[in-house]
Structure 1
Amino acid sequence: MGLIVISNREPYAPQRDEQENLTWMPSIGGLTAALDPALQHAGGTWIAWGEQHPEVSEVELPQGHPRYRLKRLRLSDAEVRDFYHGFSNRALWPMSHYFIERTRYQADQWQAYVNVNRRFAEAAVDSYREGDLIWVQDYQLALVPRMIREALPDARIGFFWHIPWPAPEVFRTLPWDCEVLDGILGADLIGMHTSEYVEHFQAACCRALDAETEGDTVRWKDRPSRVVARPIGIEVSTYEELAARPDVEDAAERLRHTLQTQILLGVDRLDYTKGIPERLEAFGAFLDRHPEARGKVTLLQIAVPSREQVESYRQLRSRVEGLVGRINGKHTRDGWSPIQYIYRGIDRKELVAHYRAADVMLVTPLRDGLNLVAKEFTASARDGVLVLSRFAGAAEEMPEALQVNPYNPEGLTEVLLQALNMPLSEKKARLQRLRERLRQSDLRTWAEQFMRDIAAP
């Protein structure tokens, strides 16, 4: 029995070495860390968009010790524009995160989405061997399970939706709500991060399709689909081991020595769902309300570039940088600036050093499917406090975090004061309970359990 994984992004990225040969480096991210080992063990095929060097249609991975095949689909510029930047990220993404005012529901982009989903499904059918498990990933490929089902009625198919599933009245704004639900219900097993998302999905099936639901099962077109809450984990031991390394600890100490203050840390992709402007404004209000904190607290905000070709994201960057300038201009004194702003990606080692240095980790998205940064910080922290938005999917698993409403700046300023003044014994106790829960549902456990459930009749 082999495994077929289908995702928009590929697990290894091609790069040119000094001799201009292509080398394949593992992509950073939970999906690669979870499913690359599974594919290396089971064998099979990973199907993904070949964004860079699309002339390479197939490659055996890992390079030098091949265990499975990566099948790379070449998308035209029009398909990237309409399927990816268009329908996936200007319709499904904002709708799922409750940003209805940002949605663009365009029929030509929907048609591109259908066509590209069909190409992924056809690649899976071509790769399928009897007994293989098929696991489709995320909102870009919601139609693929049904398309595969029509060609392979007896295949075992799983699907995981990695972003929030919104309340039914929000989902129903999508003109193709029935088609998306029908596509997903081609899977035998459907996974989401929280029980709330599962409830919303089942309610959408009832209202839009008049499908039958009972327990964790939705019955549609005479087939049952199980819908389960399975929040993804992280590589807990990897983060713990990295955090314990002397060079990482030294880097954290250098950061602390440089800033000479308590450190509030934010690490986010620069996306409007992450609540970075709201966080900055709340920190500015905190300094206004607590002038005694000036010179004693620094907000270190790392913003990872995202979708820079999209105008709304460029506008967000301008807004964020404007807020940083305004707050720093108002409060900077005696060599201290309240906000240190970094606009770039950072590697895992540097990231963990920042986690180790932080006194308070601010994870305050306006809406987030899960948020792995909260889990990474928990696994890496020395004795920091996690401040977590109630609208992050991870909040359901992390009750020991200080949970906040990111839309309430006054409430956030009060929680900041609580976090900065929390006794060390309480910090350690909260972290210990959070870590124990992380270890019980790490990344490999998540992947192995989900695959077992796909295979179960």
Structure 2
Amino acid sequence: MGLIIVANRAPFRLTPEGLVPAVGGLATALLPVLERRHGVWVAAGEWREKGQAATPRESQVRLEQVFFPEKEWQGYYGGFSNRVLWPLCHYFLERVELRREFYQDYQRANRRFAERVAEVFREGDTVFVQDYHLLLLPRLLRERIAAKIGFFFHIPWPSSGVFRILPWGRALVEGVLGADLIGFHTPEYVENFLRTAAYYGYQVEGNRVRVGERWVRVEAHPLGIDTGRFGELSQDPHIGLHARALKRLAGAERLILGVDRLDYTKGILERLLAYERLLQSYPQWRGRVAFFQIATPSRTSVHAYRELKRRVDEVVGRIMGSFLREDWVPLRYFYQTYTQEELAAFYRAADVALITPLRDGMNLVAMEYAYTTEDGVLVLSNLAGAAEYLKEALLVNPYDLDGMAQALDRALRMPEGERRERLSALKARIEALNVQGWAERFLASLEEG
């Protein structure tokens, strides 16, 4: 039985030697499963090789690419996916741009994906569609091929009251309901989707939605990290040396770490303000604590992201201007991309990780830190999907600056026994959410259902 994965992004990166498998995210979750089945990954086109699809090296996976006219790509990806669906699903309604031409390009792009999948489909294949870029695709595929179709939504599905702001909400839900099994990270997102389907007139019974003569199942399948990989990184002596060097660079008793893409959903600005509040409200930590914030550049061509960077830069400057001393640097801001190995050194160096997205589908950085650190404390937003599973973290409201400052003070003072007890429980939970298990569990449910 064959397997076709459909996602906007391919699981490979381009090197001078050719395409090689990417590390982390969906690539880590799905490539091993796809390779065992000698399957096909269908993605938006990035590379051409002599007019044909580029061939990945060192992989049993066949990559098939979908190419777009530039204007259509901008409307589908930069427009509807990232200026309509992304802000709406993260509850940033003031950033939603309801432009009909964006939706029209989104429709065209989803049809292109459907046509490409239909071309590579063979009888008996299972199709697994990924994420918010392809909400219309399951129904388009059902019209073209006879296959088991799974769909997974990797970001939050918002409340039905928020989702129905979209003029095209009914068509999007109809698109998703072309699948046999729909997956989300948390029970809350499952419930939100079921309520949305009920609003548009679908019969809902338990976790099933009736579509004509079919019943579509909706399930929570939480995605985790590659625990084997991060277990190795937590013991690597070279990474240990790097971690000790970072600790010396911090020049303080305690080190707090934040790691994110520079995206308005990640709460970086509010996190910096909370650290400023800590230094104002708990002056005993001045000179004794340092904060490293890693912000990976993201969507730098989009005005909202450039504006966010400007505001973050201003707050960084203000904190430094207010608290910097000759013998103490309170904050270091790293606006750059790091490898998994480099991030692991930061994880091992940090006494506290402050991971406070304003809304997040899951948040794997929180899991990476908790699984890699030896005795650190995780302070986590209660609006991240991961908060559903990582109950032993210190959960905070990412909009409450005083509450976050209080949690930081508690984390910095936490006794060793409590730290280790919380961390041991977190590691056990993360082990159970291992990323390879996620793919196997979802596909088993799809194919047996």
Provide the TM-score with structure 2 as the length reference: 0.98
- 1:447 paired residue number: 439
- 1:192 paired residue number: 184
Task: Classify 1:324/1:265 alpha carbon distance in 2 versus 1 (closer, same or farther; 3 Å).
Answer: same
Once the two structures are TM-superposed, the CA of residue 44 in structure 1 deviates from its matched residue by 2.0
Q: In the aligned structure 1, how far is the partner of 2:212 from the partner of 2:306?
A: 44
CA contact (8 A) 1:378 1:434 kept: yes
CA deviation digits over 1:417-452, x for unaligned, max 9?
000000111111111111111111201110111111
Once the two structures are TM-superposed, the CA of residue 27 in structure 1 deviates from its matched residue by 2.0
- 2:236 paired residue number: 245
Q: Alignment identity in percent?
A: 46
- 1:105 paired residue number: 98
Partner of residue 290 from structure 1, selected from 258, 272, 282:
282
Task: Classify 1:192/1:56 alpha carbon distance in 2 versus 1 (closer, same or farther; 3 Å).
Answer: farther
Partner of residue 225 from structure 1, selected from 203, 206, 216:
216
- 1:165 paired residue number: 157
Once the two structures are TM-superposed, the CA of residue 66 in structure 1 deviates from its matched residue by 4.6
CA contact (8 A) 1:259 1:298 kept: yes
Q: In the aligned structure 1, how far is the partner of 2:51 from the partner of 2:278?
A: 52
| Aligned pairs (5 A) from 1:409-428 | 409-428=401-420
SS in 1 for 2:301: coil
Say yes or no: does 1:260 pair with 2:255: no
Q: In the aligned structure 2, how far is the partner of 1:226 from the partner of 1:54?
A: 40
- 1:131 paired residue number: 124
CA contact (8 A) 1:91 1:103 kept: yes
Say yes or no: does 1:80 pair with 2:73: yes
Q: In the aligned structure 1, how far is the partner of 2:232 from the partner of 2:174?
A: 44
Q: In the aligned structure 1, how far is the partner of 2:433 from the partner of 2:275?
A: 33
Q: In the aligned structure 2, how far is the partner of 1:112 from the partner of 1:48?
A: 17
Say yes or no: does 1:16 pair with 2:25: no
| Aligned pairs (5 A) from 1:277-426 | 277-426=269-418
Partner of residue 53 from structure 2, selected from 52, 58, 68:
58
CA deviation digits over 1:111-131, x for unaligned, max 9?
000000011111111111111
* Worse-superposed segment, 73-82 or 273-282: 73-82
CA deviation digits over 1:300-351, x for unaligned, max 9?
0000000000011000001101100011101101232211000011001110
Once the two structures are TM-superposed, the CA of residue 52 in structure 1 deviates from its matched residue by 4.5
2:16 is aligned with what amino acid?
Answer: R
Q: In the aligned structure 2, how far is the partner of 1:372 from the partner of 1:285?
A: 26
- 1:121 paired residue number: 114
Q: In the aligned structure 2, how far is the partner of 1:53 from the partner of 1:412?
A: 48
Q: In the aligned structure 2, how far is the partner of 1:66 from the partner of 1:437?
A: 31
1:232 is aligned with what amino acid?
Answer: L
Say yes or no: does 1:45 pair with 2:40: yes
Provide the TM-score with structure 1 as the length reference: 0.96
Once the two structures are TM-superposed, the CA of residue 108 in structure 1 deviates from its matched residue by 0.6
CA contact (8 A) 1:60 1:68 kept: no
Task: Classify 1:66/1:332 alpha carbon distance in 2 versus 1 (closer, same or farther; 3 Å).
Answer: closer
Once the two structures are TM-superposed, the CA of residue 373 in structure 1 deviates from its matched residue by 0.3
CA contact (8 A) 2:47 2:53 kept: no
Once the two structures are TM-superposed, the CA of residue 15 in structure 1 deviates from its matched residue by 2.9
Q: In the aligned structure 2, how far is the partner of 1:188 from the partner of 1:313?
A: 37
Task: Classify 1:335/1:74 alpha carbon distance in 2 versus 1 (closer, same or farther; 3 Å).
Answer: farther
1:323 is aligned with what amino acid?
Answer: V
Once the two structures are TM-superposed, the CA of residue 50 in structure 1 deviates from its matched residue by 1.9
Once the two structures are TM-superposed, the CA of residue 32 in structure 1 deviates from its matched residue by 0.2
Say yes or no: does 1:215 pair with 2:210: no
Q: In the aligned structure 1, how far is the partner of 2:60 from the partner of 2:94?
A: 45
1:10 is aligned with what amino acid?
Answer: A
Q: In the aligned structure 1, how far is the partner of 2:108 from the partner of 2:232?
A: 44
RMSD: 1.2
CA contact (8 A) 1:54 1:72 kept: no
2:251 is aligned with what amino acid?
Answer: Q
Where does structure 1 lack aligned partners over 5 or more consecutive residues? 18-22
CA contact (8 A) 1:404 1:411 kept: yes
CA contact (8 A) 2:251 2:328 kept: no
SS in 2 for 1:151: coil
SS in 2 for 1:159: strand
CA contact (8 A) 1:57 1:72 kept: no
- List structure 1 runs of 4+ shifted beyond 3 angstroms: 52-57
CA deviation digits over 1:71-122, x for unaligned, max 9?
0112222122110010000000000000010000111110000000011111
- 2:28 paired residue number: 33
CA contact (8 A) 1:97 1:164 kept: yes
Say yes or no: does 1:3 pair with 2:13: no
Aligned residue pairs, count: 448
SS in 2 for 1:301: strand
1:39 is aligned with what amino acid?
Answer: L
Say yes or no: does 1:141 pair with 2:134: yes
CA deviation digits over 1:8-43, x for unaligned, max 9?
0101122335xxxxx112223320001111111001
1:450 is aligned with what amino acid?
Answer: F
CA contact (8 A) 1:271 1:313 kept: yes
Q: In the aligned structure 2, how far is the partner of 1:266 from the partner of 1:121?
A: 39
Task: Classify 1:399/1:54 alpha carbon distance in 2 versus 1 (closer, same or farther; 3 Å).
Answer: farther
Q: In the aligned structure 1, how far is the partner of 2:306 from the partner of 2:288?
A: 32
Partner of residue 234 from structure 1, selected from 225, 250, 264:
225
Q: In the aligned structure 1, how far is the partner of 2:308 from the partner of 2:55?
A: 40
Once the two structures are TM-superposed, the CA of residue 53 in structure 1 deviates from its matched residue by 4.6
SS in 1 for 2:119: helix
- 1:92 paired residue number: 85
